[in-house]
Amino acid sequence: MLLKVFITGVSSGIGAAIAENLCASGHFVYGTVRKTEDGLRLSKAFPNHFRPILYDVCDIESLPKIASQVYHVDDHLDVLINNAGIAVSGPMELLSDEDIEKQIDVNLKAVIRITNAFIPGLIKSCSGTVINISSVSARFTSPMLGAYSISKYALEAATDAYRRELLPWNVKVYSIQPGPIKTPIWEKAGQEMKDYSNSRYGPFMPSANMILKRSVRIAEPPEKIARLAAKIIKNRPSKTKFLSTGNVFFYKVFLRILPASWMDRLILAQVKKHMK
Ligand SMILES: NC(=O)c1ccc[n+]([C@@H]2O[C@H](COP(=O)([O-])OP(=O)(O)OC[C@H]3O[C@@H](n4cnc5c(N)ncnc54)[C@H](OP(=O)(O)O)[C@@H]3O)[C@@H](O)[C@H]2O)c1
């Protein structure tokens, strides 16, 4: 069955890979981009299966117009993939209100606004599917990534609420929690982290940068998440949260068995090496 899909943030990374996978399978994808040129590659590759939509997910006023572009032929939507996201890094104490608002607005509030805008269409589809691209940061909060984790933990709560509230209409709501994936999001995070080296949190920076470098090294291709999303869309399984990382032991066993204070001690030991 060919499905009508709406994906946020298809300019690069995971969103682009999911869009490509679904278009190649014959589905019709509406994908949001912020710059016209970012939609050209998919438009050229899949002229009959992809339509770019210019949209910044922070733009509240344009949302009804965006939804009407998707509903212009008929008023249903089979699949919504909330993928657009940013990673704001830095110590909690030093993040500005603006930093936190931006993180929460893009990664959480926009997801809620967009989901609400498409619920009538998902219900009309009679077997609607929503996939929220969450993160392993919804399971473990690293120092310097507090704001990002806050957004992803909250996204998990939103996912649970929507999943239960939409049960009567057979709309299934999932979250995918990827570990490190090779996308431009890491370069952006690295640039922002450098700014805190001269603060009291300077001693955290070597470990934070080390973890970032390691994440870049072990990062998996976005196509892996695209295949997982395609499988979820096809099978609509009863399982609701999909952890996707090479380090399943850490997230599923280590974090469950060991008290948080153990991890805190390991973090402190690392940081102390760099304290004068
Ligand atoms: N990469 C990882 O290791 C990783 C791991 C776990 C979870 N994730 C999650 O995966 C999702 C996709 O990220 P990615 O890694 O694929 O990074 P990415 O390549 O930077 O893609 C992020 C997408 O979101 C879009 N976006 C950001 N802010 C937006 C806004 N205000 N309005 C509209 N679109 C906006 C970007 O558009 P522009 O190009 O215009 O900025 C881009 O298309 C995010 O939710 C992220 O948290 C990533």
Q: Kindly report, residue by residue over 46-76, the tens digit of the pLDDT.
A: 999 999 999 999 999 999 999 999 998 889 9
Q: Is residue 264 exposed (0-12), middle (13-18) or buried (19+ Cβ within 10 Å)?
A: exposed
Q: What spacing in Å lies between the alpha carbon of 64 and ligand 1's midpoint?
A: 22
Whose CA is closest to 135, among 189, 207, 171, 93?
Answer: 189
Pocket of ligand 1 (CB under 6 A): 8-15, 32, 34, 38, 56-58, 83-86, 106, 133, 135, 178, 180-181, 183-185
Span of 90-99, 190-199, 260-269 with lowest mean pLDDT:
190-199
- Cα–Cα distance, 116 to 26 (Å, whole number): 26
pLDDT above 70 as % of the chain: 97
Q: What spacing in Å lies between the alpha carbon of 178 and ligand 1's midpoint?
A: 12
pLDDT of 194 higher than 70: no
Q: Whose CA is nearest to atom 24 of ligand 1?
A: 84
| pLDDT, tens digit (0-9, with 9 covering 90-100), for 237-267 | 999 999 999 999 999 999 999 999 999 999 9
Q: What spacing in Å lies between the alpha carbon of 83 and ligand 1's midpoint?
A: 6
Q: Whose CA is nearest to atom 19 of ligand 1?
A: 13
Where exactly are the structural domains of the chain? 4-182+220-269
Whether the CB-CB separation of 92 and 145 falls below 8 Å is answered with no
Residue 180 alpha carbon, nearest atom of ligand 1: 3
Could you tell me which CATH class the domain 4-182+220-269 is placed in? alpha beta
Contacts of 75 (CB under 8 A, 6+ apart): 120, 121, 124
Q: Whose CA is nearest to atom 46 of ligand 1?
A: 85
Q: What spacing in Å lies between the alpha carbon of 184 and ligand 1's midpoint?
A: 8
Q: Enumerate the active-site residues.
A: 148
The reported pLDDT for the residue numbered 196 is 86
Mean predicted confidence (pLDDT) in 165-192: 88
- Cα–Cα distance, 271 to 276 (Å, whole number): 10
Residue 152 alpha carbon, nearest atom of ligand 1: 47
Mean predicted confidence (pLDDT) in 120-145: 97
Q: Whose CA is nearest to atom 45 of ligand 1?
A: 85
Q: Whose CA is nearest to atom 26 of ligand 1?
A: 84
What confidence tier does 210 reach under pLDDT thresholds 50, 70, 90? confident
Which element (helix H / strand E) includes 172?
strand 172-178
Residue 178 alpha carbon, nearest atom of ligand 1: 6
The reported pLDDT for the residue numbered 209 is 86
DSSP letter (8 states) at residue 142: -
* Residues linked to residue 129 through DSSP beta bridges, in sequence order: 79, 172
Residue 134 alpha carbon, nearest atom of ligand 1: 7
Q: What spacing in Å lies between the alpha carbon of 50 and ligand 1's midpoint?
A: 19
The reported pLDDT for the residue numbered 92 is 97
| pLDDT, tens digit (0-9, with 9 covering 90-100), for 1-15 | 899 999 999 999 999
What confidence tier does 155 reach under pLDDT thresholds 50, 70, 90? very high
Span of 43-52, 96-105, 188-197 with lowest mean pLDDT:
188-197
What confidence tier does 192 reach under pLDDT thresholds 50, 70, 90? low
- Cα–Cα distance, 46 to 48 (Å, whole number): 6
pLDDT of 189 higher than 70: no
Q: Is residue 64 exposed (0-12), middle (13-18) or buried (19+ Cβ within 10 Å)?
A: exposed
Average pLDDT, the chain: 95
